[in-house]
Amino acid sequence: MKLPTIRKPYLLFLGDSPDLLTAKTAIGVAHWRPEWCAGQMRLAGCAADAGLPDMTIAEAAGKGVGTLIVGVATTGGVLPDGWNGYMVEAIEAGLDIASGLHSRLADIPAIAEAAARHGRQVFDVRHPTQALECGTGKKRSGKRLLTVGTDCCVGKMFSALAIAREMEERGMGVDFRATGQTGIFIAGGGISVDAVVADFISGATEALSPDGDADHWDIIEGQGSLLHPAYAGVSLGLLHGSQPDALVLCHEAGRLAMDDMDGRPMPGIEETIDANLRAARVTNPDVRMVGICLNTRQLDESAAHAAIAETAEQFGLPCVDPVRTGVNPIVDLIEGL
C-alpha cells in the first residue's frame, strides 16, 4: 500500500481562529516541523499565531511552497463558504491543498474543478483514500512503540513525537507514524485510523508500520483509550495492528472526568496499563510497558514534580512530563531493549 505524501514546505492557513485551541493543528505543525513551514496565512480577526512569517498565497508560491494546510478547527468541521476562494487561489498558484476537517474539500465543486484543471492534489487527510486490507497479525521485522492513554486528549501524539525526536537525536533509527490529522501533517503522511472502515483498523495500522530493520523503531501515535465507551474499538484495532514491543501510557494528572463524556469518571492508570498489556499480547506476547507520560498542565511546578515522582514510584516505571521534563528516562529504557 502506498501512503500519500504531502508536498513540503507548508503554508499554514489559520483562517480567523479566535484562539490557540481552534488553531491547534497549525500550532502543532509549526511546533514540531518549523523547518517545513514557510509561513502562515491569517484572515481578519485571527487571534492565533503559529509564530511564522505572515504571507499571502502569491508570496508562498514565490517561495516554492508545496501545500497549503488548513490547520484550523471550524464549526461543524466544514470549510466556511467564504474560504473557498482562498483554496482556489492556492491551487491556481500551483499549491496542493490539505485539510484535516471532517468534511472533504474535494467534495466542494469549485475546489475539485480547480484541482483537476491545474493538476493539483487535494488531501483530505481524515478520509483515507488508499486501498486497505484486513489485518493478518503476522509478525513484522523491526521494533514498535505505541502510546496509549487513559482518555482522549491526554498527550499521546505529543509524547510519541517527543520520544521519536529524542531517539533521533541519539542517532537511533526511528520513524514517527501518524494516525490522526495533526500527526499526518507533522509526519508528512499517515493514516487517520479512526476514519477507516471498521474492518480495516488493524490492517491499516499494519500497512502504516511495515517491516523495518531489526533495530529500527516505529513510534506510533495512539488514539482514544481502550476504556473509552465511544472509541475503544479504534484503540484496540490500533493496538493489535501495531503489535507493539513497547507501550507508553499517557495520562493527565488531576483529570477527574473523561473528555466530553458527560462526567464519566476517569479510568485509573493501573487498570489502563493492565487492559493494554493483556490486549497487546494477542499480537505480541513480549510487549512491555516502558514508561508513563504524565501531562501535568493543571499543576504548578512543584506539584508537577511531586506527581511525576510519585507515579514513577507507584508503578515502578520511568515517568516524565514530555513538556516539562523531556522524555530521557523513557528513551534510556528503550535504548536498553
**Contact residues: a second copy, CB under 8 A:** 134-138, 193-199, 201-203, 226-227, 229-238, 240-241, 261-262, 264, 275, 278-279, 282-283
* Distance, CA of 16 to CA of 188 (rounded, Å): 24
In the complex with a second copy, the residue whose CB is nearer, 90 or 207, is 207
A 10 A CB-CB count for 240 gives 21
Nearest distance from C-beta of residue 104 to a second copy, angstroms? 13
Nearest distance from C-beta of residue 81 to a second copy, angstroms? 22
Q: What's the first-to-final CA gap in the chain, in angstroms? A: 30
Q: What is residue 294's three-state secondary structure?
A: strand
Nearest distance from C-beta of residue 142 to a second copy, angstroms? 18
Adjacent-strand bridge partners of 257: 265
* Distance, CA of 103 to CA of 57 (rounded, Å): 23
Nearest distance from C-beta of residue 234 to a second copy, angstroms? 5
In the complex with a second copy, the residue whose CB is nearer, 124 or 321, is 124
Rounded (10°) angle between helices 24-32 and 156-169: 10
In the complex with a second copy, the residue whose CB is nearer, 152 or 333, is 152
* Distance, CA of 258 to CA of 189 (rounded, Å): 29
In the complex with a second copy, the residue whose CB is nearer, 147 or 276, is 276
In the complex with a second copy, the residue whose CB is nearer, 75 or 302, is 75
Lookup result for grid cell 493543528: 25
* Distance, CA of 335 to CA of 186 (rounded, Å): 24
In the complex with a second copy, the residue whose CB is nearer, 163 or 280, is 280
Nearest distance from C-beta of residue 230 to a second copy, angstroms? 4
Instruction: Kindly report the backbone phi and psi dihedral angles of residue 36, in degrees, each rounded to the nearest multiple of 5, phi listed first.
Output: -95, -5
Nearest distance from C-beta of residue 259 to a second copy, angstroms? 12
Residue 3 CB-density burial (10 A; 0-12 exposed, 13-18 middle, 19+ buried): middle
